Amino acid sequence: MALTNLTNTYHRDTYPAISSTNPSLSQAGKTVLITGGGSGIGFEIVRSFAKAKASRIIIMGRRVTVLEDAVVKLREEFQNTEFIAQQGDISDEVSTTSVWDHLNSHNVFVHVLVLNAAHLSPMGPDTLKMERKDLMEAFNTNVWGNFSMTAKFVNQPLRPVGEKLNLVNVSTAGIQMNPAPTQNPYVTSKGTFTALLGRIADEHPVEDVQIISFHPGALYSESGAKYFDKDLIDWDEMALPADFAVWSASPEAAWLHGRFVWAHWDVDELKSDEVITKRLEQETGFLKVAVQGLTEISATSFLKKK
């Protein structure tokens, strides 16, 4: 078993348990908002939610033409789902506030939020030679922007009392390789937000808002093409993380509330593994972003008298 794999089976493409056509994962009657949904993995996530019969999908992104082109294609393929192109920049608080105010004013309540938009740059082997402005842009999008979207999602004025929400975070958090990768600021900022989501999940039970973070795999997309050669590795199929996002927004994934997993891992094997199940029950820090090499630490451990 690979060090990056908790299950014997390592998927590179979608499979029946997470398939968006699986009736148990149906998103019928749901309104879904997907950031960065106009292209790449975001577009495929939109398609998977449409296959899962979502009633309405809001595609949020910065580039209006990309969003409009995506909606045209989606409407041709899926006639039973309503698609809305919503221009917005998650790194801009004014922009995100405007988006949520617009939805609220049009009586649109969002049941599922998929945080897919990310700031990939700067990249380089020496972080200390990077410009402060470039580093702050990465953190402003990947941490503050995603936090702002999360807070506005959970606190929607139209949310009925007791209505459960689902939040899915697409993240490469905690993926560190040696020698150090060139995308350190991206990984670090995504890791920071994923760690924050773990904290938020501790504060909000799964019955309130189900939170799942997952690593989508190695994907060759429009954004990735700027930095990586197509022949560099054997890339994963987009359908794997796209369908995994749908699975993560279903009751099937409730037992992983607040955790960070990989789309490659077989969900049935994960759930049936007694060791993993026991650790999830006993260790609140298991499968969460934290300091490597330390067992779980709590405030009470510091307050105990000798």
Active-site residue numbers? 171, 186, 190
Cα 176 from chain centre:
18
Cα 84 from chain centre:
20
Angle at 188 between CA 183 and CA 194, to 5 degrees: 125
Cα–Cα distance for residue pair 216/168, rounded to 1 Å? 11
Q: 70-74 long-range CB contacts below 8 Å, 24 or more apart?
A: 70/37, 70/38, 70/39, 70/43, 70/46, 74/46, 74/47, 74/50
Length of the chain as a residue count:
306
CA atoms within 13 A on the CB side of 98: 11
Cα–Cα distance for residue pair 268/256, rounded to 1 Å? 12
Residue holding tokens 């910065």?
Answer: 62
Residue of 237, 211, 246 lying closest to 46 (CA atoms): 246
